[in-house]
Structures are given as C-alpha cells and as structure tokens.
Amino acid sequence: MKKLFLLYLLMMSLLLRGHLCLAFEPTQPECLAPAKLGGGMDLTCRLVANSLLAANLIDIPMATNYKPGGIGAVAYNYVVGVRNRDPQLIVAASTGSVLNLATKKFGSYGVEDVRWLGALGTDYGSIAVKADAPWNSLADLISAIQTDQKLAIGGGGSIGSQDWMKIALLLQKANIDPKNIRYVAFEGGGEALEALLSGHIQAFSGDVSEVHSLLEQQQIKVLAVFSSTRLPGKFAAIPTATEQDFPIEWSTWRGYYMGPNVSDEAYNWWANSLRRLVKTEEFVAERERLGLYPLSLIGQEFDQYVRASVEEGRNFAREVGLLD
C-alpha cells in the first residue's frame, strides 16, 4: 500500500512538472514597431522591452523590429494575415492607430481583428521648430503660416492622422483652413524630426516624448504642449496651447496589440506580466526616462477603451470633414 502511495505521488509530481513545462512563457519575445527607427512607435517598443528585462519578467532580451508603411497599415495587415497566431509578438500602437482604424486606413480590417493588450503610458501633443527658428510662440507661427504659403509643417502620418489633427485643430482656432497649408507626411515622428533638423520642414507636429531628447540637446524649441496644465520636469517652462489662447488638448496613449488567433494562455501571460510590470520601480524609471506619463489600461479594460475610442474617432473625423 505504501509503495502504491509513493508511486501515486511520483506520478502526480511528473504530471505537475509536465503541466508547468507546458505553461506559456516567451522564448523569443518581439515587439514590432509599425514605423521607421525613431519616433513614438520605436519608443513604445523600447519602453516594454527595456523594462521587462530590467524587472526580470523575461529572461532574454526582447527584440525590436520595424515594419513601416501606410502609417501602421502594413504592420496591421501583416499581423492579421501572417503572424496572427504568434504568441511571441506584440505590436506597438497609439491613439494614432485608433484614428487610422476610424478613418478606415487599415483597409478591410477593423478594431475587432486583433487582440488589444494594454496601454502603459500617455504622451501629449506638441509643436516644435528648430532652435534657430524666428518663432517663439504659437501666435508667431500662425502669423508666419498666414503670410507664407510655402512654410511646411510635417508629422508622422498623412492627412487625417493624429499629427495632422493636432495642427488642423490649431489652424481652425486661427480661422485657417487646414487643407490649404503645406503639410508633409512622414512614416513616423523620427523621420519627420530628421526633416525638421535638415530644414525640409519648418515645424513639427508630434508628441513630447518624441522631442524631449532634442530639446535637452537644444536643437529644437517647443512652442506649446497640448496638455490641460503645464507638464512637470523639463517641459515645465513650456506654455500650453490654452495659455496662448488656443484651447487645444491632445493626449496620446502608447500601448500594444497581438494577433487575433493568439491563444488565451499566451495573451493572459502578456497581460498579467504587464500588470506586474507597471508596479515595478524599473518600469517607472524607464517610462520617465522616455518622457511618458502614467497610464495603465490592460486586458479587457483596454480592449473596451480602444473600441469606444474608434467610435469617438469616427465622430471627430466627420467634424473635420474626413468622413461623410
């Protein structure tokens, strides 16, 4: 009887070990940035890759790869059509992704065609110019736009993207039709900032996380941030758009999605790991280093938020004449 009991314990131990071995844990974790190197999507991947490793929530470094094109459309279609079951892959996304879905820039695919994983930080819109530019306020820039039709403003995304939306809202407040300005679209904020520094565009519409390092290096001036109050730290001296009589606020969440056919086991591992991650000192330090601000929406809560945001984006797009 004793031998049978010991044998039973041994079998249960082996079964338990087998179960634990079968539990999902990424062996080749990857974050896909749907834009070129630099800019907000690259930053979003670096946020999770650096902090997961630093907090010992993954054992091996997380690769960051890039698939630009169509302001996120190429990556979205690639994940849905090719890597739809890949449990190792998460994809960077933002408020801009929601606007693209709302305006049907991702083709036939919609918000329901991926699994929305979580948002780990928020960003705020900003308008920047080169450090030696003659403009020191939004009023200066608006006046220049009114007198110089060749002045070019660039951002990560085409007409209808969130970077275009920010400048469109600003121009509307000044009674300027945004469709009449020279807007230059780039595949991500990193490429647009390169164009600003090289003189191909005269103003950049983007987010504070994209410009904070160049601001520290004194290569640019930030004319305004689109937050409700002044931001802390290195942006404390920069006035909001509202302070300059342009009442505009624009926040940008930074998060991730996965393929539509990823298993619940893999999805839950990532969601639970992100829940643990946001509570760590390593994550907070990395988020602050990258110029992001607190926001945590994970799992079902994030999925519901994104779906509601797409509907809000459709309504907003109609207001500015991008949808019927």
Asked if residue 141 and residue 115 are part of one domain, the reply reads no
Q: What is the CATH number of the domain that holds 304?
A: 3.40.190.150
- 210 shares its domain with 294: no
Burial class (CB in 10 A: 0-12, 13-18, 19+), 269: middle
Residues 214 and 311 in one domain: no
| CATH code (residue 234) | 3.40.190.10
| Per-residue confidence (pLDDT) for residue 279, from 0 to 100 | 98
Whole-angstrom Cα distance, residue 312 to residue 79? 25
Q: Please tell me the total number of residues recorded for the chain in this structure.
A: 324
The model's pTM is 0.85
Does residue 141 sit in the same domain as residue 108? no
Query: Quick one: pLDDT at residue 14?
Result: 41
Domain boundary among 217, 244, 271: 244
Same domain, 47 and 185: no
Q: How many domains does one find in the chain?
A: 2
240 and 155 part of one domain:
yes
What pLDDT sits at residue 140?
Answer: 97
Per-residue pLDDT at 133: 97
244, 264, 283 - which closes a domain: 244
Contact at 8 Å (CB) between 67 and 153?
no
List the pLDDT tens digit at each of the 324 positions of the chain: 555 444 445 445 444 444 444 589 999 999 999 998 888 999 999 999 999 999 999 999 999 999 999 889 999 999 999 999 999 999 999 998 998 999 888 989 999 999 999 999 999 999 999 999 999 999 999 999 999 878 999 998 888 888 998 999 999 899 998 888 899 999 888 899 999 999 999 999 999 999 989 999 999 999 999 999 999 888 899 999 999 999 999 999 999 999 999 999 999 999 999 999 999 999 999 999 999 999 999 999 999 999 999 998 888 778 767 777
Question: What is the pLDDT at residue 314?
Answer: 87
Q: Of the candidates 227, 244, 261, which is a domain's last residue? A: 244
Q: Which domain holds residue 278?
A: 29-123+251-319
Whether 233 and 256 map to the same domain: the answer is no
